[in-house]
Amino acid sequence: MKMFQHADSICHTYNHCWRISSARFMKTNIIFKAGYISQSFKQNHMEYRRLGKSGLQVSALSLGSWLTFGHQVTDSVAEELMDIAYESGVNFFDNAEGYAGGKSETVMGNILKKKNWDRSSYIVSSKIYFGAEEKKPNMTGLSKKHLFEGTHNALKRLQLDHLDLLYCHRPDQNTPIEETVWAMHQLIQQGKALYWGTSEWSASEIMQAHYFAERHHLVPPTMEQPQYNMLWREKMEKEYLLLFRDFGMGTTIWSPLASGLLSGKYNEADPSDTRFAQIESIGWLKERWLQPANLQKVKSLKGIADRLNIPVVKLSLGWCLKNPNVSTVILGASKTAQLKENLTTLEILPLIDDKVMTEIDDLLGNKPAFIEV
């Protein structure tokens, strides 16, 4: 009980400190990074960034498999996509137990086995929470039982000895954070995973995980996987700022194109050859993004992109990469030409200077406001 009371008091302190630090951020333009220099380097046209304060180098652009592998694309296309990504310098491939009911991991595992790439040359993740095909009691969530068994099953599907990154895919209100932190620590101690993190957790939940891990000398979360794009900014640019500064959290952001809206393909019509048209399970995303105000913003963004002589899709991806707290941008692709084009985004980053970033902020009108104290 005392631990919970202390954690709650830290949450209140966190919120108070955030207000103070946010005001300082606004006044001094400080970048909220941890107390270290996050170095990056380039090789074969790909940039590699540290995953937060860890020593792991992750490609600035990575490849995800949600909605594609085992679902929207054939296995042969999935293999082509991984080939293109790997040959372009991508070293991180993102997956989860819940993607296509586990089929996504099976497809990726078969490809990795066939390619026989040097295991040190790539990073693979899985995420545990939603379960795979069956959803019986203890087959979802973040209990120690499901975390252990879900991780074991993910390794079997991926045909790997260990995961480089292992995420808690959502917070679990039915499982104490202490149980989850202990389980993740033990999975790392067993060599089943090298780093663990969270996905779509609140800042206070992540803070509690760090506090509990520090108190008991356990391995804390290294990274968070939040949604981040021009239309969805609150967590990355406001809520998580102290996490970056105080804990050195890395981020592997998903949906940089707002499910394709920021690619510009919805500007004139609702194409039938899109995820929104083909996959019923993401109707909630269609309702979120396909709003008249959002469509108008994308049309206006195209004006900026045209002036810079770049596609709006690259402007959108490049904008995400400009945030120094982004470790890697996860790309989703169902077509090889689409992936090849998006993987050249790093080439246009110099065009997106401070003046362009300010112009984009003014156009979007959604930059998170900082609280003066």
Q: How big is the CA angle at 315 (ends 309 and 321), to the nearest 5 degrees?
A: 135
Cα 112 to Cα 80, 116, 196: the distances in Å are 12, 6, 22
The alpha carbon of residue 58 and the mean position of all alpha carbons in its chain are separated, in whole angstroms, by 12
Find the farthest-apart pair of alpha carbons in the chain and give their distance in angstroms, rounded: 59
CB within 8 Å of 31: residues ≥ 6 apart: 324, 325
Instruction: Tell me which fold the domain 2-257+326-335 belongs to.
Output: TIM Barrel (3.20.20)
pLDDT at 276: 56
How far apart are alpha carbons 360 and 158 in whole angstroms?
40
How far apart are alpha carbons 220 and 222 in whole angstroms?
6
Task: With cut-offs at 50, 70 and 90, classify the pLDDT of residue 40.
Answer: confident
Q: Does position 10 have pLDDT exceeding 70, yes or no? A: no
Q: Does position 249 have pLDDT exceeding 90, yes or no? A: yes
In this prediction, what percent of the chain has a pLDDT beyond 70? 83
Q: Are strands 46-50 and 57-59 parallel, antiparallel or unpaired?
A: antiparallel
pLDDT at 41: 72
Q: Does position 363 have pLDDT exceeding 90, yes or no? A: yes
Q: Which residue has the higher pLDDT, 237 or 287?
A: 237
Contact 99, 124 (CB under 8 A): no
The sign of the dihedral angle between the CA atoms of 53, 58, 64, 70 is negative
pLDDT digits (tens, 9 = 90+) for 159-185: 999 999 999 999 999 999 999 999 999
pLDDT at 73: 96
7-11, 77-81, 349-353: range with lowest mean pLDDT? 7-11
Q: Does position 218 have pLDDT exceeding 70, yes or no? A: yes
Mean pLDDT for the chain? Answer: 88
Q: Does position 278 have pLDDT exceeding 90, yes or no? A: no
How far apart are alpha carbons 354 and 348 in whole angstroms?
14
pLDDT at 30: 39
pLDDT at 372: 41
Q: Does position 299 have pLDDT exceeding 80, yes or no? A: yes
How far apart are alpha carbons 29 and 192 in whole angstroms?
40
pLDDT digits (tens, 9 = 90+) for 102-145: 999 999 999 999 999 999 999 999 999 999 988 999 999 999 99
pLDDT at 288: 73
Q: Annotated catalytic sites, by residue?
A: 99
Spatial strand order in the sheet of 40-43: 40-43, 46-50, 57-59
Q: Which residue has the tokens 């999935």?
A: 78
